[in-house]
Structure 1
């Protein structure tokens, strides 16, 4: 009986297993068989891999560029010889997916091919944008033949010159503009396009906005051509302005990038440094609201000021003192021999909380900058309430505009309860915008492009769009003090009524007809707009020569105290390749053709210029058109 029971149970189990296996076979896929991917999801993958300002760039390249561009200052030294760059090849992340999208579309029937033309065209600006970023610092690169081996191409793609790259980029953008701006037809019948909806987390599949993006992106190429082929640059600008596709001229069309509610952009903490004193003073003096979005308030709020007063009254910190450039703005009264904070003098909060460091090398060793650097470690440190604390009087770059999961500790007196902002917020990046487009148009108009509006109109609109866009992004990123103030004597930092109008009235933001200085003013605005796009800021500085030495607006400063020459690299370094690499000879020939040598010496990187950089002025010389 026992054996029969076991056999019966086994038989029933086998029958059940057979039934399960049959059902499983119907739903399971043979791992050796590759299914057909959904083109819409491939596009989302490409968009996800489109990250023009990733961690490695911020950790290495952008830290250097921010210092070279005199946006940030080190508290010790200047980085003039980049030992490591993030490396080119970022375009490959999106190019290989764009090629696979094209491959999948090509395998469809004629109607299928026609119905995916918009999605195919939308891949172009992502590739071009990243391609520009790569060639900006490295010049020639494999592109036209790259990543095509699996489709019958070569494993040793040629290096396209920078001139060839720009021609290719322009041709691809023009083709995509044509597709996105007109009905797609097959045998005379309009073909409905497959739509992306939320699979496109930037423009929701809106073909008109993608067409504007493509058309406007041509201006990024045009301004790079100005020093090498001005006529072509101006012609491109006129084509863009007259294109029926339109341009990104409203912040509603800005390319604001966010992958999702739990995407924080980075899990690391790069440290680009503190703001440059001259730059921050320029923005504060003109009450430019963007200083509040790009830099943090310093740590000397009213609670900290009062703590310094209390430490002074109790004589617990005899070496400590409030820095003079902060003390000058403090209004206080003396009650029973004790200083009591009353408020801030003009220009008031939040403007009084933004201060930068001098950029001169070894400024920390200079007695005149003692208040800024605290070389002894005693000036900004107080003992109070059985605790001690050190405070920073200058403004750090606002890295919550880069990373959504940073924690912020509000400054308070020693021993006070710690108050922190620890809420993780999704990261929003402003990668391409109406501010940028209008500032390019202002520049191109001044240089001679036949455009419908005046340079002042483009400049004004560029500033408006820049300020409002960065205000929007600061709000989306919920940076400290944007939503609420920590202390009753503090002000929030969101854009306030009347500020933009006041800003536009400032002489530094108005053109006068002096062409050279007008160009300088436009380039200053590009520099400000690009502070959180350091490579764009650096490219604008490199091709324009702005900031300008001895400027009455926002001068270029000598890095050496004695005014002697300090070489700033104009490109990223190249390193010796491996002879076993299939691309070794092509790589070396490309360097030879461009006149580049191996290594990262500062003088070498300053003199060996990229193709489009060869006619540009030296740093600090100003425009040479």
Structure 2
């Protein structure tokens, strides 16, 4: 049974704080107007709390990732295929908004305020710490606004420090400008880093306070921001791209901004654990990776149960006919389209009830479809196919900003003629770096049947006709491989689709057409945006923020229109 109780309480608290609609607003006001409630925490302590809070997000993974964004983006499907309404089922979606206000933004604001209130000499010596905190705040701010649009930001979290309890809603255009200015300022501060600067050290769970690494991460984040900005402001995209390329860049996977934690962080049996749902790889992705000999396939997915040994055992046990033939292909994806999954002609793929005793003496389902590699998302899971299974002891990786992502952006910009870099070279580097990064993540997580990656495999996969760079279809290839790279960052895969319209049913990696009762289903563009309650303390600002978004014709039919577009997501 999923452990929802604590997270439901947190979600309920988030709603009460963000909308100021709890029964006792005075408790909230007292908490937020009394700076002593931080109990003399140091910047280091509160920064560590922020690092952890960003990924203490099992409720987000249970809903937003496993049941919404990853099925939408055809990364995987439920055990028996998607429901006819899965493209409209957005209940509990958008956990990030609550996390931003109650877990991340408030903690990072505390870090900034603690530093700002320190004696002048100490404050001066903590400038680099403040710059790093601002980069992390910007990272999560962009993550939140890109699906929510206008948000309280410049005046948010300030009440306990003498600011307002009714923060204005910054427009998304204003937010993008603020983010870019803050990142540039943070880069300048960190590059001027002097010996007297106090480091976060081990309190920084990402880079251990390494200022040079944070400069690279800030540049990577500027480039992500610029790519989101491009349709609204092509000149700004080009300006930022050229500045970033001339600056400090990621040069290897060791530069990646990532959160790595033990198997205890994402414990088996809870919301992190995808194994009870028996998620299967999608046909579009599995087939493409299999046909292009992509070694990441074994990190993403498990082979199905139809090995020669298992088939022989199942035959001997009378589970399957003696005439059953073993296929060399053990990576088989499930249909993403509800109509295809329900088609009687495809029923054989969804027979999950035939169990046999495997070579380890353990009952195992003779499953035709390839399940996802559960340990990539929850390393503590035991291997159910061995006798006397023990919990996994690997590590979970949460990629945030990666070398490959930056390379794919640079390749795209070059292919579009926005920069003068070598698109082919950058694309090849991006694809190969992605393969090596997933090998690292798989090794850390101790995925089932892990086999180390070889350079020969990497070269062979890149040289496949559906992968190797071809200038005549450069943007298609870049989008297809970017999509694969974002397997562990489904939000980035969804943003890629919204930004480029790719992958689609005609790209090199061809999506399945999604049909429900014969009707083509559209990809949602955003979660539901809650209407402000007229009893909320900040009702006027919330309504003004919503009204400003609604003034854009592309916003759609109203806040409940999940096919309407947020400002950056321009047609």
- Shorter-chain TM range is 0.7 to 0.9
Q: Which moved more, 1:146-155 or 1:564-573?
A: 564-573
Kept in 2, the 8 Å contact 1:59–1:272? The answer is: no
How large is the RMSD of aligned CA atoms in angstroms? 2.7
Tell me if the contact between 1:235 and 1:449 (Cα under 8 Å) persists in the aligned partners: no
Q: 1:98 to 1:197 in 2, by over 3 A?
A: same
Change (3 A) 1:447 1:421: farther
Matches within 5 A, 1:182-221: 182-184=192-194, 192-221=196-225
Aligned counterpart, 1:169: 179
Q: In 1, Cα distance between the equivalents of 2:521 and 2:570?
A: 19
Equivalent in the alignment of 1:467:
435
Matched, 1:90 2:96: no
CA deviation after TM superposition for structure 1 residue 160, in Å: 1.1
Q: Does 2:560 match 1:610?
A: no
| Residue aligning to 2:396 | 427
Match of 2:21 in 1: none
Query: Secondary structure, in 3 states, of the residue corresponding to 2:345?
Result: helix
Q: Does the CA-based 8 Å contact 1:382-1:388 persist in structure 2? A: yes
1:532 aligns with 2:488: yes
Superposition misfits of 4+ residues, deviation over 4 angstroms: 32-35, 259-262, 318-322, 381-389, 596-601
CA positional deviation for 1:142? 0.8
Structure 2 CA distance for aligned equivalents of residues 61 and 439 of structure 1 = 25
Contact 1:262 1:425 in 2 (8 A): no
Aligned residue number for residue 240 of structure 1: 244
Query: Which position in structure 2 is the counterpart of 1:80?
Result: 87
- Please point out which of 270, 273, 286 is paired with 1:280: 286
Is the aligned partner of 1:41 residue 2:50? no
Cα deviation, residue 35, structure 1: 5.9
Name the counterpart of 2:73. Answer: 69
Matched, 1:296 2:302: yes
Q: Does the CA-based 8 Å contact 1:71-1:276 persist in structure 2?
A: yes
Which structure 2 residues correspond to residues 352-371 of structure 1 after superposition, within 5 A? Answer: 352-371=329-348
- 1:249 — aligned with what? 251
CA offset digits 1:577-620 (Å, max 9, x no partner): 4322112332233222212579886xx311x11101122xxxxx
> Residue 408 of structure 1 aligns to a residue in which SS?
coil
Query: Does structure 1 retain, via aligned residues, the 8 Å contact 2:469–2:477?
Result: yes
Aligned residues: 520
How far did 1:548 drift?
A: 2.7
Which residue in 2 is equivalent to 1:392?
367
Q: Distance in 2 between matches of 1:255 and 1:265?
A: 23
SS in structure 2 of the partner of residue 428 of structure 1: strand
| Contact 2:306–2:327 (CA under 8 A) maintained in structure 1 | no
- Cα distance, 1:42 vs. partner? 2.1
1:125 maps onto 2:135 in alignment:
yes
CA contact (8 A) 2:180 2:222 kept: yes
Select the structure of larger CA radius of gyration: 1
Shift of 1:83: 2.1
1:77-123 CA distance string (max 9 Å, x none): 34111122143133332222222222222222332111111111111
Secondary structure at the residue paired with 2:487? coil
Distance (whole Å) between structure 1 residues aligned to residue 401 and residue 74 of structure 2: 22
Query: How much does 1:58 deviate?
Result: 1.7
Q: What residue is the counterpart of 1:13 in the other structure?
A: none
Give the match for residue 150 of structure 1. 160
Alpha-carbon separation, structure 1, partners of 2:229 and 2:278: 29
Instruction: Confirm or deny: 8 A CA contact 1:264 1:424 kept in the other structure.
Output: no
| Superposed CA offset, 1:494-542 (max 9, x none) | 212400111121222222221xx21011011110000111111111111
The whole-number CA distance in structure 2 between the counterparts of 1:472 and 1:399 is 16
The CA deviation at 1:275 is 0.9
Structure 2: 5+ residue stretches without partners: 1-35
Structure 2 SS opposite 1:605: coil
Q: Distance in 2 between matches of 1:122 and 1:582?
A: 32
Structure possessing the higher relative contact order (Cα contacts under 8 Å, 6 or more residues apart): 2
Q: Contact between 1:181 and 1:207, CA under 8 Å: does it hold in 2?
A: yes
Displacement of 1:179 in angstroms is: 0.7
Which has the larger displacement, 286-295 or 91-100?
91-100
Deviation for aligned residue 1:382: 5.0
* Secondary structure of residue in 2 paired with 1:150: helix
Contact 2:206 2:257 in 1 (8 A): yes
Looking at structure 2, the residues matched to 57 and 424 of structure 1 have their Cα atoms a distance apart, in angstroms, of 23
Partner of 1:490: none
Gaps of 5+ in 1: 1-31, 185-190, 330-351, 412-417, 483-492, 616-625
Q: Secondary structure at the match of 1:228?
A: coil
The alpha-carbon distance between structure 1 residues 235 and 508, as it changes in their structure 2 partners (threshold 3 A), is farther
Q: Distance in 1 between matches of 2:323 and 2:208?
A: 55
